[in-house]
């Protein structure tokens, strides 16, 4: 093959494998991946798509040898894709061989402490999302809220306010009509605004286009261990703002994760200890799912090997696995060269380190074929053996490419170059365990290194399309062993699990464990086993049942740190209304159809512990009592106003009853504060920070004081939402403070008149 025959003229061989996509996979392909005309009509077949990708990526070899036979290589790549032995990340499947040509999934952008840097990052984010990528940011360099801004003599609004700008920009962009923007926001645990960051998603309508993670340092974890303090540091000047109890912050991280699944945590010091190019910069952030740590303006392209296809005669076929690893590394390295990067700086930095992220999917399916329970020590051993093999073969393939094409440009200053400069490594990193939600649908296998979510379940994708799926390996084994029946599958669909069904032999109940049959400790052990031989990080969700406690989550975080994981994401079932995967009744009898959590009011124990707060209102002294349960969750609220009677007293009692019912049904305090704070009446009391606008406002302020007492930090994040001086007693309009007096511009009322 020569340059006289360009890639577009290479034809798919007549005997090429025809991909056996399922009906669900075809639905996803038609909505998201296949080329369409201007009217939205599909213009290519799934086979055409795979050939388009294979020949485009193979053409990358022409950069190094204009006479190389890329037709053969394109055929090899195609067979690897069509057999579902390997699939690249979604942007590659969507854009290879098309006008856009942007093939990377993950990017990290720098955000410095200046308006120029912040809004340049917003612009670059828009370009990346338009091209189909996701972005990660560290907002740790932005000075804290209310810090001095020398250029204007004003005060900073802090990192959270700028995160909202990025969120709004993302909301307006649909990535090529196929993929919505995704962001990761990371804030260091020693940033002064860390408490606000941890709690920002108490309102689940906030920052919907962001995943949040706290960058945890080793010093912080050591302080947690000894119940000590650590320093909060102003990034503007490096000065220590205050010392903070590590356990108060850690407890809030854990509690918020229990409530909503966020924030996650990344062990940033551990990540930088494995940074292959420390002289090129420190790693501050990751891609949106947390598995790919990257330098500022660095990108990475990912791909996953289907482990369920690597089993032959009840054993791992390591010869086949090794061959797929070598082809996949070649494939991913070519993408770096043919990629059309949306920003010149990303082109430059990416090619300096040439990071790739080869991972796996179908691990749970591999275990079922090996008759090995996911939660067993044998499964952990298999995980280590398989990933160790992939990691070594990926390094071998990278060295082979380095000998042919040269090492990555930063190689001499990397940890590899310092160790042995005579062995040229092509790629600074080679392995990453990424989530494969959509890819696993296409390949018809389990996702990433996750356990089987459910034997049968509803899968929601994109525009709330629902897909009903049954695990194909279980269905095959059930038929072969005579216990398959539609009625059985219908019963299983209620919970997704097969535990407790005596008509299914015990050995199969043990092998076909689902995500909620497995303890968090076993989840983390598998993550740690893969992390041991993964250059970058492992994307894995640690599933908790709905009844898991805050203490359960805390133990998981500590275990992840002890087992040398690089981060952790937990999800307690039912803590969010919409789940990507759900059974008809997932995890808890308290949930309704389609996996949505139906709040159930908890019964009151005989005794509770609480605090009473005295608040001065225009109606007199108010006493607000807040009681908590044994897990330090707000349970009920009572209030009594000394001088109030009639309507005022009844309204205050009504507010107390509604707040109590909300808390007993699982609602967090923050939305209640947000709804009540700032409600004003004609008779406010107090001045400045002590001003109380109404009885409702007093209740909100008492709840906020209570939360601040728990967290050990003052929270002024909701103060800006209040009306400053209450309502006009004559017309109900807004009152403003002018010339030392309260006035109403609506009707002309003046308190001083």
Locate 629 and state its tokens: 């349960």
509 class by beta-carbon count within 10 Å (0-12 exposed, 13-18 middle, 19+ buried):
middle
Give me the sign of the Cα torsion angle 201, 206, 211, 214.
negative
Amino acid 147: pLDDT: 87
Give me the sign of the Cα torsion angle 186, 190, 192, 196.
positive
| 3-state class (DSSP) for residue 543 | strand
Question: What does the pLDDT look like over 336-362, one tens digit per residue?
Answer: 999 999 999 999 999 999 999 999 999
Amino acid 739: pLDDT: 39
Q: Residue 597: which pLDDT band, with cuts at 50, 70 and 90?
A: very low
The overall average pLDDT reported for the chain is 87
- Is pLDDT of 243 > 90? yes
Q: If you write DSSP's letter for every residue of 253-267 in order, what string do you get?
A: HHHHHHHHS--EEEE
| 3-state class (DSSP) for residue 587 | coil
Tokens 């930090």 correspond to 713
- Is pLDDT of 469 > 90? no
Q: Residue 744: which pLDDT band, with cuts at 50, 70 and 90?
A: low
Contact 136, 111 (CB under 8 A): no
First and final C-alpha spacing in the chain: 93
Q: Which residues contact 222 (CB under 8 A, 6 or more apart)?
A: 228
Amino acid 130: pLDDT: 84
* pLDDT > 70 fraction of the chain, expressed in percent and rounded: 85
User: For 451, which DSSP code?
Assistant: P
- Is pLDDT of 727 > 60? no
Question: What does the pLDDT look like over 185-212, one tens digit per residue?
Answer: 999 999 999 999 999 988 767 888 899 9
Q: If you write DSSP's letter for every residue of 523-534 in order, what string do you get?
A: HHHHHHHHHTT-
Neighbours of 711 (CB within 10 A): 18
Task: Give me the catalytic one of 275, 287, 536, 627.
Answer: 287
Contact 515, 372 (CB under 8 A): no
User: Where do the structural domains in the chain lie, given as residue ranges?
Assistant: 7-99+299-354+376-419, 106-286, 437-595, 609-722
Q: For 386-530, where are the E strands, in sequence order?
A: 456-461, 465-470
Alpha helices in 226-304 (DSSP H): 246-260, 268-273
Amino acid 189: pLDDT: 98
Amino acid 688: pLDDT: 67
In the beta sheet, which residues pair with residue 155? 148
Q: Check residue 320 and give left, alpha or beta (phi > 0: left; psi -120 to 50: alpha).
A: alpha
* More confidently predicted of 147 and 351: 351
Amino acid 593: pLDDT: 37
Task: Give me the catalytic one of 289, 565, 728, 744.
Answer: 289
Alpha helices in 406-519 (DSSP H): 415-419, 437-443, 472-480, 486-492, 506-511
Question: What does the pLDDT look like over 280-311, one tens digit per residue?
Answer: 999 999 999 999 999 999 999 999 999 999 99
* More confidently predicted of 111 and 484: 111
3-class SS shares of the chain: helix, strand, coil, % to 5 = 40, 20, 40
CA distances (Å), 112 to each of 118, 201, 233, 621, in order? 6, 24, 16, 48
Closest listed residue to residue 389, CA positions, set 201, 532, 540: 532
Q: Residue 547: which pLDDT band, with cuts at 50, 70 and 90?
A: confident
Q: For residues 244, 248, 250 and 252, what is the CA-based torsion angle, rounded to 10 degrees?
A: -130
Amino acid 686: pLDDT: 82
* pLDDT > 90 fraction of the chain, expressed in percent and rounded: 62
Amino acid 532: pLDDT: 98
Amino acid 574: pLDDT: 77
Neighbours of 686 (CB within 10 A): 14
Q: Residue 732: which pLDDT band, with cuts at 50, 70 and 90?
A: low
Closest listed residue to residue 192, CA positions, set 248, 264, 134, 142: 142
For the ranges 31-45, 489-503, 628-642, 707-721, the maximum mean pLDDT occurs at: 31-45
φ/ψ of 244, rounded to 5, equals -130, 145
- Is pLDDT of 726 > 80? no
Contact 184, 287 (CB under 8 A): yes
Q: What is the mean pLDDT of residues 119-137?
A: 91
- Is pLDDT of 588 > 60? no
* More confidently predicted of 4 and 699: 699
Which H helix or E strand runs over 241?
A: strand 240-245
Q: For residues 371, 372, 375 and 376, what is the CA-based torsion angle, rounded to 10 degrees?
A: 140
Contact 356, 332 (CB under 8 A): yes
Q: What is the mean pLDDT of residues 529-543?
A: 95
| 3-state class (DSSP) for residue 719 | helix
Q: What is the mean pLDDT of residues 527-556?
A: 94
Distance CA 623, CA 641 (A): 6
Task: Indicate the pTM of the whole model.
Answer: 0.77
C-alpha count within 13 angstroms, C-beta hemisphere, residue 461: 22
Locate 509 and state its tokens: 């109940």
Contact 320, 310 (CB under 8 A): yes
Distance CA 85, CA 406 (A): 28
Residue 287 annotated among the catalytic residues of the structure: yes
Residue-level length of the chain: 753
- Is pLDDT of 445 > 90? yes
Neighbours of 222 (CB within 10 A): 12
Q: Residue 157: which pLDDT band, with cuts at 50, 70 and 90?
A: confident
- Is pLDDT of 129 > 50? yes
472-490 b/e (C-beta count within 10 Å ≥ 16 → b): ebbeebbeeeeeeeeebbe
Closest listed residue to residue 583, CA positions, set 672, 490, 659, 685: 490
Q: Residue 4: which pLDDT band, with cuts at 50, 70 and 90?
A: very low
Amino acid 645: pLDDT: 62
Judge: domain 106-286, CATH 3.20.70.20.
yes
Task: Give me the catalytic one of 262, 291, 450, 513.
Answer: 291
Distance CA 313, CA 187 (A): 49
Question: What does the pLDDT look like over 206-229, one tens digit per residue?
Answer: 888 899 999 999 999 999 999 999
Q: For residues 439, 440, 442 and 444, what is the CA-based torsion angle, rounded to 10 degrees?
A: 170
Q: Residue 599: which pLDDT band, with cuts at 50, 70 and 90?
A: low
Beta-sheet pairing, 634-641 with 174-175: unpaired
φ/ψ of 36, rounded to 5, equals -125, 155
Neighbours of 168 (CB within 10 A): 12
Q: What is the mean pLDDT of residues 56-85?
A: 95
Q: Which of 116-125, 359-368, 447-456, 642-651 has the lowest mean pLDDT?
A: 642-651
Distance CA 693, CA 679 (A): 7
Contact 328, 358 (CB under 8 A): yes
Amino acid 713: pLDDT: 53
Tokens 């504060």 correspond to 673
Q: What is the mean pLDDT of residues 631-650?
A: 79
- Is pLDDT of 741 > 50? no
Amino acid 580: pLDDT: 55
Distance CA 458, CA 450 (A): 17
Distance CA 292, CA 272 (A): 12
* More confidently predicted of 594 and 214: 214
Q: For residues 272, 276, 281 and 284, what is the CA-based torsion angle, rounded to 10 degrees?
A: -40
Contact 550, 258 (CB under 8 A): yes
Question: What does the pLDDT look like over 132-145, one tens digit per residue?
Answer: 888 999 999 999 99
């Amino acid at each position: 093959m020569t340059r006289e025959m360009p890639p577009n003229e290479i034809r798919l061989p007549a005997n090429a494998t025809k991909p056996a996509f399922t009906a669900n996979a075809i639905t996803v392909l038609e909505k998201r991946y296949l080329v369409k005309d201007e009217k939205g009509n599909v213009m290519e077949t799934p086979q055409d798509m795979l050939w388009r990708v294979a020949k485009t990526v193979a053409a990358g070899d022409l950069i190094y040898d204009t006479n190389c036979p890329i037709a053969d290589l394109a055929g090899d790549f195609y067979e690897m894709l069509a057999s579902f032995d390997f699939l690249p990340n979604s942007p590659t499947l969507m854009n290879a061989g098309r006008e856009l040509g942007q093939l990377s999934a993950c990017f990290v952008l720098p955000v410095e402490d200046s308006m120029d840097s912040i809004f340049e990052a917003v612009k670059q984010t828009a370009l990346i999302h338009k091209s189909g990528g996701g972005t990660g940011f560290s907002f740790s360099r932005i000075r804290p809220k209310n810090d001095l801004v020398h250029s204007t003599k004003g005060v900073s609004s802090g990192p959270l306010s700028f995160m909202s700008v990025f969120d709004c920009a993302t909301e307006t962009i649909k990535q090529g009509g196929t993929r919505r923007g995704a962001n990761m926001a990371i804030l260091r645990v020693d940033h002064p605004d860390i408490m606000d960051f941890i709690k920002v998603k108490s309102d689940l309508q906030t920052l919907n286009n962001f995943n949040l993670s706290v960058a945890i340092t080793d010093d912080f974890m050591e302080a947690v261990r000894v119940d000590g303090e650590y320093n909060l540091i102003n990034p503007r000047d490096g000065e220590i703002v205050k010392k903070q109890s590590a356990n108060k912050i850690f407890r809030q991280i854990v509690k918020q994760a229990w409530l909503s699944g966020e924030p996650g945590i990344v062990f940033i010091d551990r990540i930088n200890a494995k940074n292959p190019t420390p002289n090129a910069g420190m790693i501050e952030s990751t891609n949106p799912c947390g598995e790919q740590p990257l330098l500022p303006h660095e990108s990475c392209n990912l791909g996953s090997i289907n482990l369920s296809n690597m089993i032959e005669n009840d054993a791992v076929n390591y010869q086949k696995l090794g061959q797929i690893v070598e082809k996949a590394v070649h494939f991913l390295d070519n993408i770096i060269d043919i990629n059309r990067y949306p920003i010149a700086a990303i082109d430059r930095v990416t090619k300096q380190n040439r990071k790739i992220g080869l991972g796996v999917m179908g691990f749970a399916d591999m275990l079922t074929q090996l008759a090995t329970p996911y939660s067993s020590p044998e499964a952990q051993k298999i995980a280590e053996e398989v990933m160790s093999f992939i990691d070594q073969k990926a390094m071998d393939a990278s060295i082979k490419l380095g000998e042919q094409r040269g090492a990555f440009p930063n190689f001499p200053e990397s940890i590899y170059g310092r160790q042995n400069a005579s062995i040229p490594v092509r790629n600074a990193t080679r392995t990453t365990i990424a989530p494969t939600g959509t890819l696993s649908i296409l390949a018809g296998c389990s996702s990433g290194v996750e356990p089987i979510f459910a034997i049968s379940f509803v899968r929601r994708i994109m525009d709330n399309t629902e897909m009903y799926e049954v695990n194909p390996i279980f269905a095959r084994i059930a038929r072969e062993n005579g216990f398959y029946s539609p009625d059985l599958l219908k019963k299983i669909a209620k919970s997704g699990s097969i535990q407790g069904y005596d008509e299914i032999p015990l050995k199969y109940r043990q092998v076909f464990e689902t995500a909620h049959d497995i303890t968090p400790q076993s989840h983390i052990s598998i993550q740690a086993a893969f992390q041991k031989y993964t250059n970058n990080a492992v994307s894995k969700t640690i599933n908790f049942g709905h009844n898991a406690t805050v203490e359960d989550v805390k133990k998981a975080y500590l275990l992840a740190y002890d087992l040398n994981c690089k981060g952790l994401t937990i999800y307690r079932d039912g803590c969010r209304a919409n789940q990507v995967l759900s059974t008809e009744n997932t995890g808890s009898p308290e949930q309704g159809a389609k996996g949505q959590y139906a709040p159930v009011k908890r019964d009151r124990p005989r005794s509770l512990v609480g605090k009473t707060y005295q608040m001065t209102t225009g109606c007199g002294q108010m006493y607000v009592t807040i009681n908590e349960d044994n897990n330090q969750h707000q349970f009920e609220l009572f209030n009594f106003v000394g001088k109030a009677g009639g309507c005022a007293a009844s309204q205050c009692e009504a507010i107390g009853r509604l707040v109590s019912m909300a808390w007993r049904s699982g609602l967090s305090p923050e939305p209640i504060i947000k709804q009540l704070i700032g409600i004003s009446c004609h008779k406010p009391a107090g001045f400045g920070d002590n001003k109380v606008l109404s009885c409702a406002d007093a209740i909100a302020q008492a709840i906020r004081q209570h939360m601040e007492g728990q967290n050990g930090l003052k929270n002024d994040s909701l103060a800006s939402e209040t009306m400053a001086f209450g309502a006009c007693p004559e017309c109900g309009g807004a009152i403003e403070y002018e010339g030392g007096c309260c006035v109403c511009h609506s009707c002309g009322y003046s308190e001083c008149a």
